[in-house]
Amino acid sequence: MAYNEEENIRQLLDSIRIQNLSRCAISDIVVISSGSIDRTNEIIKNYSRADFRIGLIVQSERRGKASAINLFLKNAKEQICILVNSDSILHADAIELLVRPFDNSSVGMTAGRPIPLCPASRFINHITRLLWDLHHGVSLRAPKMGELIAFRKDIVRQIIEDTAVDEVCVEWQIKNSGYKTVYVPESELSIRTPDTVNDFISQRRRIAVGHLWAEQVLRYTPATRNTGLVLQSILKHLIHNPRTAIFILAAVFLECLSRALGWYDYYIRRRNPYIWKVCLSTKRKQGQFVRLNSYE
């Protein structure tokens, strides 16, 4: 799902094309471009001429990520579908490892491990890395699906479109259908994260609203909203990294602030930003990936 990703989409497509695969195959690589006004569409078309698996579906305007996902599901041909954010980079074995648990018929959904691509050169970058380390710790105890997910299409044919937390909607449907979710930490991907405090708060605030929406509409709470699991993850992290205490305190403060603002947005302002304002710092290149060829 892409919106103005001319700086990042090449690296994602290249990382998908060079996946190490032995027990599965990638039959289609579908990009849904929603209202992009940069060179995103042109870049994808150039790639599709060199790789027949790559296809472009254009939405003339942004209707929210969930709307784009439903368009993808309508056009998906395989029974195992994978969603990955367009500003990510998959590690070499990510897909192979992600789909292996589906050998078990009771598994309905899997998720990989996101690793921030940002350098630890700014205070907010330390906070972001810490946040995802804690996310990993929680997911080891109770899987929280996000950033890179795979699921059975016959269970999830569409999701509710006015949501800002699409992975939570998929996770809810899978569990409601009696299937298991599996966290696969070996399936890694690099993700671009906000590198300014304002963008960090804006992103976490929007996610907080999404979680409140899920609690009210779906009656579902993801594992990262479980205070006990979060505290366990923080304690374990502190035991192994006691010098990060200052960053823990800062992260807790920013997360609490973001959740408070999210509560204000949802309950007082009655806002549900499922078409959200883009964090500009995540659109800039924050890392490099070796490309196979240039298709432009």
DSSP 39-104: SHHHHHHHHHHH-TTEEEEEESS---HHHHHHHHHHH--SSEEEEE-TTEEE-TTHHHHHHGGGGS
Provide the pLDDT confidence category of residue 274 given band limits of 50, 70 and 90: confident
- Residues 196, 124: contact at Cβ < 8 Å? yes
Closest CA relative to residue 129, chosen from 112, 117, 142:
117
Provide the pLDDT confidence category of residue 289 given band limits of 50, 70 and 90: very low
Give me the residues paired with residue 111 across strands. Answer: 149, 183
- In total, how many domains does the chain have? 1
pLDDT at 284: 59
> Token pair 């105890």 is at which residue?
141
115-129, 169-183, 240-254, 257-271: lowest mean pLDDT where?
A: 115-129
Residue 34 resides in a domain: no
pLDDT at 195: 83
Task: For 124-162, write each residue's pLDDT tens digit.
Answer: 888 999 999 999 999 999 999 989 999 999 999 999 999
Task: For 51-78, write each residue's pLDDT tens digit.
Answer: 999 999 999 999 999 999 999 999 999 9
Does the pLDDT value for residue 182 go beyond 90?
A: yes
Residue 116 resides in a domain: yes
Q: Strand, coil or helix: what is 113?
A: strand
Rounded to whole angstroms, the Cα distance separating 247 from 131 reads 10
Rounded to whole angstroms, the Cα distance separating 19 from 22 reads 10
* Domain coverage including residue 165: 88-282
Please list, in sequence order, all residues whose beta carbon lies within 8 angstroms of the beta carbon of residue 239, skipping any fewer than 6 positions away.
Answer: none
Question: Per-residue pLDDT averaged across 271-283, rounded?
Answer: 73
pLDDT at 278: 74
Does the pLDDT value for residue 17 go beyond 60?
A: yes
Residue 289 resides in a domain: no
Residue 239 resides in a domain: yes
- Residues 89, 15: contact at Cβ < 8 Å? yes
Residue 291 resides in a domain: no
